[in-house]
Amino acid sequence: MNPFDQAAALVHDALTGFSESAVPVARASRASLERLISAKAAPSQPANPLPAVAAVPGSKAERLEALRQRVLPCAKCPHLLARRSHVVFGVGNPEAELMFVGEAPGEDEDLQGEPFVGKAGKLLTKIIEAMGLTRNDVYIANILKCRPDMPPGESGNRKPRPEEMATCLPHLMEQIEIIAPKCLVALGATAMEGLLGQPVVMRDVRGRWHSFKGTPLMATYHPAYLLRNQSLSEKRKVWEDMLQVLEKLGHPISAKQRGYFLPK
């Protein structure tokens, strides 16, 4: 018997006893006694029953689409909302073993609503294909889902602020949770900063394994960096990072792949 039933029984018995005795007491109305008797007899119910939990769609694709529909109207950053053309949610295979994470959409991505479609995106596609994969095999997303706004009259892209990334990070975390990739690759220092929640120096974190919520995390240079620094040695550094990723995934690596960007 729960506490409410016990209390109702005690009050009911006491009032019934008083009504049968000669001791003058405050009278209990018949209606009050009947309500108490009904309460005593009725099966106990939680005082505040929890609402029924909505069924979670089964497939990863369905869960990602449900998340996308929640993210598209996001207005947590009014300054970004005022300037954006599209929310850039993410693209790729919901069942992907490998997930690439960038920092934020640029102008091309904002206009098309898809991550990594500009010059840096085309280079990322070439890197993925050199790994023996396609964009349809992996998943690509950003820390920030909206393009960082630029001051009026200024062009280009700015680095997202820590508070902007912290606001948007829960969306990415839910994407990672749904996809459950075997490996994450952070493209650039800002992406690593967004994931880890602290500033990083790329030369200190690049090329070795880290962890994000239990998922192996590799840090490498952003493709935009390679567009600015096209030396063979810098390309080789990124490729060595990708070889580590392929090994972690258990994918075969050919002699040709191992020789990419080595001095002839």
Q: Helix or strand or coil: residue 187?
A: strand
pLDDT tens readout for residues 22-47: 444 444 444 444 444 444 444 343 33
Classify domain 60-258 at the CATH topology level.
Uracil-DNA Glycosylase, subunit E (3.40.470)
User: Is residue 125 packed enough to be buried (19+ CB in 10 Å), middle (13-18) or exposed (0-12)?
Assistant: middle
Q: How far apart are CA 243 and CA 131, in angstroms?
A: 8
Question: Of 151, 181, 209, 201, which is closest to residue 90 (Cα–Cα)?
Answer: 181
Cβ-based neighbour number of residue 19 at 10 Å? 12
**Whole-model pTM over 0.95:** no
Distance linking the first and last C-alpha atoms of the chain = 83
Domain residue ranges in the chain: 3-41, 60-258
Residues of the chain falling short of pLDDT 70: 1-57
Q: Which of 127, 169, 153 is nearest to 260 (CA)?
A: 127
**What pLDDT score was predicted for residue 170?**
97
Distance, in Å, from the CA atom of 92 to the CA atom of 185, rounded to the nearest integer, reads: 14
